[in-house]
Amino acid sequence: MFGGLATVPSNSPHLRKSGSRPVVSDLGISDNENGAEEGFLNLTEANDMKGGSMPISTAAIMPSPALLWRFKVLLFFVWGFICCKIGWDSVMRMSVDLRDLFLYEAFLYYNPLLLVTMMVWFWGINLWVFAQANVNYAKIFDLDQNHLTHREIWKCATWMTIVVPTSMTAYLYLYSHGEVSLAASQPVLLYAAVAMILIFPFDIFYLSSRFYLLRTLWRIVLPLQAISFSDFFLADILTSMSKVLSDLERSVCRMVHRQVATIAWFEADSVCGSHSVAIPLVLVLPYLFRLFQCLRQYKDTGEKTTLLNALKYSTAVPVIYLSALKYHVFPEKWTNFYRPLWLLSGVLNSLYSFYWDVTRDWDLSGFTRIFKFGKAHLLSNLIHGRKWVYFWVISSNLILRCTWTYKLSSHLRHNYLTVFAITALEIFRRFQWVFFRVENEWNKMNSKSNIQLSMSDTANEEERLLVSNGHNV
């Protein structure tokens, strides 16, 4: 049915959608070859009259794209149901005492990649909205012509959504059935595959985009050059994923020390335990990277606002390290002295960050654009055209900035489900933040272009006036 030779018109509705190129290419049939074609058909008809068995297909039967998409969605939901069923049955096989500890460890390995997958999905939505609003994000981020579109981003996110839960389901199933060594290999293989795909040097798996990501990460770690928009944009996203980076460090540490599928990590004196000093160190790294970027910008531009921005990122350091001190001081001293300081530093960091988001990153000074839309732009007209959107974004940003302190506090990380939910909400907050931040940058670029264009027009007009008056320039 799908194979064999068949002469099909290139404009057959079974082969292509409206406006697309023909699926079956021109086979070289011209007016001079009509006789040959008619002879072939006559010969075929003669063979049929003689009882021949040569099949003739007048049209290739292909499933419609909508039907194919629905079939894929159905398979996706069936796969999701199977994973949930196997995972639930595997967890229920364990004893009550072991179950909570085991789920904590499983979350340690897989929640970072699940949250990264969530961020990739959101990034695809961001790009789709920018494309609909005619925002030239490729120019803003200095992307080449081979950059990934929102469809390709969603394709990557789909594969991540399939692979990561499948590995997690295999981990739960094997461990609950006593195959501890095989279970321990699941997260190791998954992390190794992700690392290999990122650094694969051949021109597959979107080489140019992978190289762009790795190059930007390198520029963030070592800000030895002028800071571009993509540099500090990705660094800002990393600050929202500091908990993800911390869990990645703990997961890799356990893999290196062969502690996967054990509960040794729960001991305070364990190398990769929950009291490890590496936890606050990794949590603070994204903020230090962003702090150094601001200092580099001040060196290059001399703008004092970059120093105020650097001060904002420095307020996250006390939150992280005062929280970590709980495991290294006496309980009475923590309760009476360090915990109030931790709460105070958390409130200061949250309010300062909220103020900077609204007034600097989004340029909503005084919240005037909540009530005035006289200077609305393309993206504003598309997704920000109603007042309730501004109320929602500003209020949700304030609330989630306050809960942000929770995920930065290592002494609260044992409530893994709560921390996972708050981290996911932080990623959602960053997803909202991207719309307004990119729009603000796009408006600045357009304003500069308009100013340069007007100055060029003014200079040309003056030159024409001088020439018309007989003066030489």
- pLDDT, tens digit (0-9, with 9 covering 90-100), for 108-127: 899 999 999 999 999 999 99
Share of the chain above pLDDT 90, in %: 42
Nearest 5 degrees, angle CA 343-CA 344-CA 350? 90
Dihedral (Cα; 148, 150, 154, 156), 10-degree rounding: 10
Contact 135, 442 (CB under 8 A): yes
Contact 162, 408 (CB under 8 A): no
Q: In angstroms, what CA-CA distances link 410 with 37, 107, 283, 286, 407?
A: 77, 16, 9, 16, 7
**Rg of the chain over CA atoms, in angstroms?**
30
pLDDT beyond 60 at 48: no
Residue 323 banded pLDDT, cuts 50, 70, 90: confident
Q: Quote the CA–CA distance of 358 and 234 in Å, as a whole number.
A: 19
pLDDT beyond 50 at 311: yes
Q: Quote the CA–CA distance of 153 and 130 in Å, as a whole number.
A: 14
> Quick one: tokens of 290?
């962003």
pLDDT beyond 60 at 3: no
C-alpha count within 13 angstroms, C-beta hemisphere, residue 155? 7
Residue 197 banded pLDDT, cuts 50, 70, 90: very high
User: Closest by alpha carbon to 349, among 403, 419, 415, 305?
Assistant: 403
Q: Quote the CA–CA distance of 331 and 338 in Å, as a whole number.
A: 10
Residue 358 is given by DSSP the state I
Amino acid identity, position 238 = L
Q: Quote the CA–CA distance of 101 and 262 in Å, as a whole number.
A: 9
Report which of residues 323 and 312 the model is more confident about: 312
Determine which of 289-293, 336-340, 366-370 has the lowest per-residue pLDDT on average: 366-370
- Residue 401 falls in which region: left (phi positive, over 0), alpha (psi -120 to 50) or beta: alpha
Please report the sign of the dihedral spanned by the C-alpha atoms of residue 182, residue 186, residue 187, residue 188: positive
Contact 439, 377 (CB under 8 A): yes
Contact 90, 103 (CB under 8 A): no
> Quick one: tokens of 327?
């495991």
For 358, residues 6+ apart whose C-beta sits below 8 A from its C-beta are 364, 365, 367, 394, 397
Q: Quote the CA–CA distance of 95 and 104 in Å, as a whole number.
A: 14
Q: Quote the CA–CA distance of 379 and 133 in Å, as a whole number.
A: 5
What was the pLDDT predicted at 19? Answer: 39
What was the pLDDT predicted at 10? Answer: 44
Q: If you average pLDDT over residues 282-303, what whole number do you get?
A: 94
Q: If you average pLDDT over residues 127-144, what whole number do you get?
A: 90
Report which of residues 426 and 465 the model is more confident about: 426
Contact 265, 313 (CB under 8 A): no
Q: Quote the CA–CA distance of 229 and 313 in Å, as a whole number.
A: 17
What was the pLDDT predicted at 28? Answer: 41
Predicted TM-score of the model (pTM)? 0.79
What was the pLDDT predicted at 61? Answer: 66
pLDDT beyond 90 at 4: no
Return the residue matching tokens 């909540």. 370
Q: Quote the CA–CA distance of 219 and 233 in Å, as a whole number.
A: 12
Residue 451 banded pLDDT, cuts 50, 70, 90: low
Q: Quote the CA–CA distance of 271 and 249 in Å, as a whole number.
A: 12
Please state, rounded to an integer, the average pLDDT across all residues of the chain.
79
Burial of 3 (0-12, 13-18, 19+ CB in 10 A): exposed
Share of the chain above pLDDT 70, in %: 73
What was the pLDDT predicted at 402? Answer: 85
Residue 178 banded pLDDT, cuts 50, 70, 90: confident
Q: If you average pLDDT over residues 170-198, what whole number do you get?
A: 93
What angle, rounded to 10 degrees, do the helices at 339-356 and 305-314 form?
Answer: 150
Report which of residues 1 and 385 the model is more confident about: 385
